[in-house]
Amino acid sequence: MAFSHTDLIDINDYSAEDIMRILETAVYFKGVNERKIKKLPTLKGLTVVNMFNEPSTRTRSSFELAEKRLSCDSLNFGGSSSSTVKGESLIDTIETLSSYKIDMVVVRDKHAGVPGIITRHTSAGVIDAGDGKHQHPTQALLDLFSIWQKVGHLDGLNVGIVGDIGHSRVCGSLIPALKKVGCSVTVIAPATLLPARPEVLGVDRVTSNLDEALPELDVVYMLRIQRERLEGAPYPSLREYNMLFGLTQEREHLMRPEAIICHPGPINRGVELDSYMADHPQRSIILDQVYGGICVRMAALYLLLGGSEHGITA
Ligand code: CP
């Protein structure tokens, strides 16, 4: 059955069934990634533009690798090497690239809303790879995939998201995605790192007390302090932030025996996570999230580019 979307801009546009279809397809691609020969001819002849106007390690590398493993042609573009530095507008840029008869644009930009604007100036599909403080939908999908693979289910899990909620595009996609698949969500943050009206988050609980919340959680999702997006000083010092909101070895006794730790990366070690917790062999699934990134991005590219109409070509 054809997938009902050609763009991935806002996770709120996706139903729980759409989300689970991507995760189930990612299981197939996980199998492909575990083979010696990891390349499939599935998207041969299609062209994807990766337009990264903001730094990225995980998202960019996993999209590029996903495209290579699906045999599509990739055009890597963006930042200071493009004619935008000569004053060319975003719209002229995207219309120029679209003249090459491209099939998909994967875009990261520091401005919220850019992926949505691009959809109006290209007939190609568009995937939001992170826009300002708005959304990062493939991150949410890989997070769900990694938790699902580790725990075995999503429905009924208590997930705590700790840290810089207000500046986080990861939260913008992760909270609605978790709610759609039946998780209970607690956010844990100082009031200065929450939206002015926390009720807009649509979560089950908001608290500033990590120690009180930890014993309730099946999944502890730590967020990076978005230093590049902070205005003023929302906490007295990084040391104090770490004392109140850092997931440290001293706090492990407060965690459920089976509770797991997630982080979207990059980690500020010693701020939101200490190395004991970040590298915890039983609890940390941070590198599983990175691996889930390629499986989920292969699945998203495959479904959004209509691969399901032809069946997976193994
Ligand atoms: N999680 C994430 O988006 O990481 P990058 O900024 O390295 O892509």
For atom 7 of ligand 1, the residue with the nearest CA is 57
pLDDT at 172: 96
* Residues 267 and 305 occupy one common structural domain: no
Mean pLDDT value across the chain: 94
Q: How confident is the model at residue 233 (pLDDT cuts 50, 70, 90)?
A: low
Angstrom CA distances, 211 to 234, 248, 250, 272, stand at 20, 11, 11, 14
Per-residue model confidence as pLDDT tens digits over 173-189:
999 999 999 999 999 99
Q: Say if 314 falls within a structural domain.
A: no
- Is pLDDT above 70 for 75? yes
Its domain, for residue 269, covers 137-290
pLDDT at 307: 79
- Tell whether ligand 1 has an atom less than 6 A from the beta carbon of residue 226: no
Of 126, 7, 70, 131, give the one whose Cα is nearest residue 295: 70
Q: How confident is the model at residue 228 (pLDDT cuts 50, 70, 90)?
A: low
* Residues 15 and 125 occupy one common structural domain: yes
Residue 110 CA to ligand 1 center (angstroms) comes to 13
Helix or strand holding residue 131 (H, E): strand 125-131
Residue with tokens 């568009």: 126
* Residues 111 and 207 occupy one common structural domain: no
Helix (H, G, I), strand (E, B) or coil at 230: coil
Per-residue model confidence as pLDDT tens digits over 84-98:
888 889 999 999 999
CB 126 within 8 Å of CB 119: yes
Q: Say if 5 falls within a structural domain.
A: no
pLDDT at 78: 82
Per-residue model confidence as pLDDT tens digits over 132-161:
999 999 999 999 999 999 999 999 999 999
Q: Say if 3 falls within a structural domain.
A: no
State which ligand 1 atom lies nearest to the alpha carbon of 57: 7
Per-residue model confidence as pLDDT tens digits over 256-311:
999 999 999 999 999 999 999 999 999 999 999 999 999 999 999 999 999 765 56
Which DSSP state fits 250? G
Angstrom CA distances, 140 to 3, 181, 235, stand at 19, 12, 27
- Tell whether ligand 1 has an atom less than 6 A from the beta carbon of residue 61: no
Instruction: Please state at what angle helix 137-151 crosses helix 286-304, rounded to 10 degrees.
Output: 120
Residue 266 CA to ligand 1 center (angstroms) comes to 6
CB 254 within 8 Å of CB 215: yes
Of 297, 260, 311, 304, give the one whose Cα is nearest residue 29: 297
Mean pLDDT, to the nearest integer, of 113-124?
97
The CATH number of residue 159's host domain is: 3.40.50.1370
* Residues 17 and 146 occupy one common structural domain: no
- For the chain, how many structural domains are there in total? 2
Of 95, 52, 49, 97, give the one whose Cα is nearest residue 75: 49
pLDDT at 304: 97
The Cα–Cα gap between 87 and 31 comes to: 45
Q: Say if 6 falls within a structural domain.
A: no
29 CA to centre of own chain: 18
pLDDT at 168: 93
- Tell whether ligand 1 has an atom less than 6 A from the beta carbon of residue 122: no
Helix or strand holding residue 129 (H, E): strand 125-131
Residue 175 CA to ligand 1 center (angstroms) comes to 17
* Residues 285 and 297 occupy one common structural domain: no
Report DSSP letters for 175-223, one per residue.
HHHHHHTT-EEEEE--GGGS-SSGGGG--SEEES-HHHHGGG-SEEEE-
Residue 50 CA to ligand 1 center (angstroms) comes to 14
- Is pLDDT above 60 for 193? yes
pLDDT at 293: 98
pLDDT at 313: 56
- Tell whether ligand 1 has an atom less than 6 A from the beta carbon of residue 205: no
Q: Say if 75 falls within a structural domain.
A: yes
Residue 264 CA to ligand 1 center (angstroms) comes to 7
- Tell whether ligand 1 has an atom less than 6 A from the beta carbon of residue 163: no
CB 298 within 8 Å of CB 292: no
- Is pLDDT above 60 for 130? yes
State which ligand 1 atom lies nearest to the alpha carbon of 55: 6
Mean pLDDT, to the nearest integer, of 196-213?
94
Residue 128 CA to ligand 1 center (angstroms) comes to 12
- Tell whether ligand 1 has an atom less than 6 A from the beta carbon of residue 4: no
Q: 31 is written with which tokens? A: 């199998």
Per-residue model confidence as pLDDT tens digits over 46-70:
999 999 999 999 999 999 999 999 9
For atom 4 of ligand 1, the residue with the nearest CA is 58
* Residues 72 and 102 occupy one common structural domain: yes
* Residues 142 and 273 occupy one common structural domain: yes
CA dihedral angle for residue 186, residue 152, residue 304, residue 134, rounded to 10 degrees = 10
Q: Say if 187 falls within a structural domain.
A: yes
Q: Which pairing describes strands 47-52 and 104-109: parallel, antiparallel, or unpaired?
A: parallel
* Residues 40 and 151 occupy one common structural domain: no
Q: Say if 108 falls within a structural domain.
A: yes
* Residues 231 and 112 occupy one common structural domain: no
* Residues 241 and 145 occupy one common structural domain: yes
18-22, 78-82, 215-219, 293-297: least confidently modelled range? 78-82
Q: How confident is the model at residue 79 (pLDDT cuts 50, 70, 90)?
A: confident
State which ligand 1 atom lies nearest to the alpha carbon of 265: 1
- Is pLDDT above 60 for 200? yes
* Residues 96 and 233 occupy one common structural domain: no
- Is pLDDT above 80 for 235? no
pLDDT at 240: 87
Residue 55 CA to ligand 1 center (angstroms) comes to 8
Q: pTM of the full predicted structure?
A: 0.95
- Tell whether ligand 1 has an atom less than 6 A from the beta carbon of residue 139: yes
* Residues 114 and 91 occupy one common structural domain: yes
Q: Say if 41 falls within a structural domain.
A: yes
